[in-house]
Amino acid sequence: MKSILLHIDHDRALKARLQVALDIARATNGHITCLQAVSYEVFAPGDFYGSAIAAAMPVIKENAENLRAETEAHLANEGVLWDWRFVYGIAPHRLLEHSPLADVVIVGPSELSDGGRGPSVIAGDLVLHAPVPVLVVPEDTKSFDVSAPIMVAWNGSSESAHALRAAVPLLAAASKVWLVSIAEPADMPRFDLPALEGAQYLTRHGIACEVVEVPRGEARIADTLFSAAQMRGCGLMVMGAYGHTRLAEMLLGGVTRHMLTEPQMPILLAH
């Protein structure tokens, strides 16, 4: 993944995702595009005369410039290729516009406006509409080892197949790949693509993987998947994202939403 689109904002996970972007760029000899999007509209809804926006603009601009200066100073000492794009507008829209020539978009699990509670609407919009995978990085992530084991959450859906295909560059660098599915009762409907087909696809790319079925148990599927990944020492989870009509919090379905509410490791998502 040589073309990395990184979301820049003041949220608490910025430091973590910047480090992950740097680690991937170093490992792949890649390039980081830092995209900082600022929108004034959200600060004064219903202010038809623009007085509140006009009053807030100098502070917003100063904060954005300070963040840019601080981040650029950090990047200048990291020995990676990067460029900076400052744009006006809603962040998910601007990230989506810049995503067609990216290999991955890196965002946080929550936003400055939601107080860090998550899940991120930015991540939801991008996952369902961007033509590339979205890497969601929690704020406690210290680094990203591209050679660490990776777990692919597999349920046989087209979304999980899309995520598997999008993750091939990272899977090829991993020391171990696990294709993990959650066992369901016999009377539950099954998807069309068995785990074996996912394993065969990876084999054609020279990637060996181990197929595992994990008991459903009493825990939420999200917690079961995180536990399975942690038990295997994985540094990344790959999974398909489910989308339907817009909910109050997210565009994404239940399991994906739970995964992103309290992510316990970086998650690569595709729809």
Whether 144 is in a domain gets the answer no
Assess whether pLDDT exceeds 80 at residue 52: no
Structure confidence by residue, pLDDT tens digits, 190-237: 566 899 999 999 999 999 999 999 998 888 888 999 999 999 999 999
Name the amino acid, one letter, at 28: T
* Residue 39 or 175, more confident: 175
pLDDT at 246: 40
Name the pLDDT band for 53 (thresholds 50, 70, 90).
low
Residues 64, 175: one domain? no
Whether 237 is in a domain gets the answer yes
Residues 98, 15: one domain? yes
Which of 136, 158, 178 is a domain's end point? 136
Domain range for 191: 150-270
pLDDT at 248: 33
Residues 108, 197: one domain? no
Distance between CA 164 and CA 239 in Å, rounded?
Answer: 7
pLDDT at 67: 97
Question: Most confidently modeled of 46-55, 56-65, 93-102, 243-252?
Answer: 93-102
Name the pLDDT band for 251 (thresholds 50, 70, 90).
very low
Name the pLDDT band for 63 (thresholds 50, 70, 90).
very high
Distance between CA 237 and CA 68 in Å, rounded?
Answer: 30
Residues 50, 173: one domain? no
Read off the CATH number of the domain in which 115 is found: 3.40.50.620
Residues 11, 126: one domain? yes
**Residue that is written with structure tokens 């740097």 in the block:** 22
Distance between CA 134 and CA 124 in Å, rounded?
Answer: 9
pLDDT at 258: 78
Residues 14, 47: one domain? yes
Show the tokens assigned to 11: 């949220």
Residues 177, 214: one domain? yes
- Structural domain tally of the chain? 2
By CB neighbour count within 10 A (0-12 exposed, 13-18 middle, 19+ buried), where does 50 fall?
exposed
- 26-48: average pLDDT: 79
- Of 11-15, 21-25, 118-122, 183-187, the poorest mean pLDDT is in 183-187
pLDDT at 216: 83
Question: Mean pLDDT over all residues of the chain?
Answer: 88
Whether 145 is in a domain gets the answer no
- 161-180: average pLDDT: 97
Strands (E), 98-139: 104-107, 134-136
- 137-150: average pLDDT: 97
pLDDT at 184: 72
Residues 164, 130: one domain? no
Structure confidence by residue, pLDDT tens digits, 87-106: 999 999 999 999 999 999 99
**Residue that is written with structure tokens 């999008």 in the block:** 166
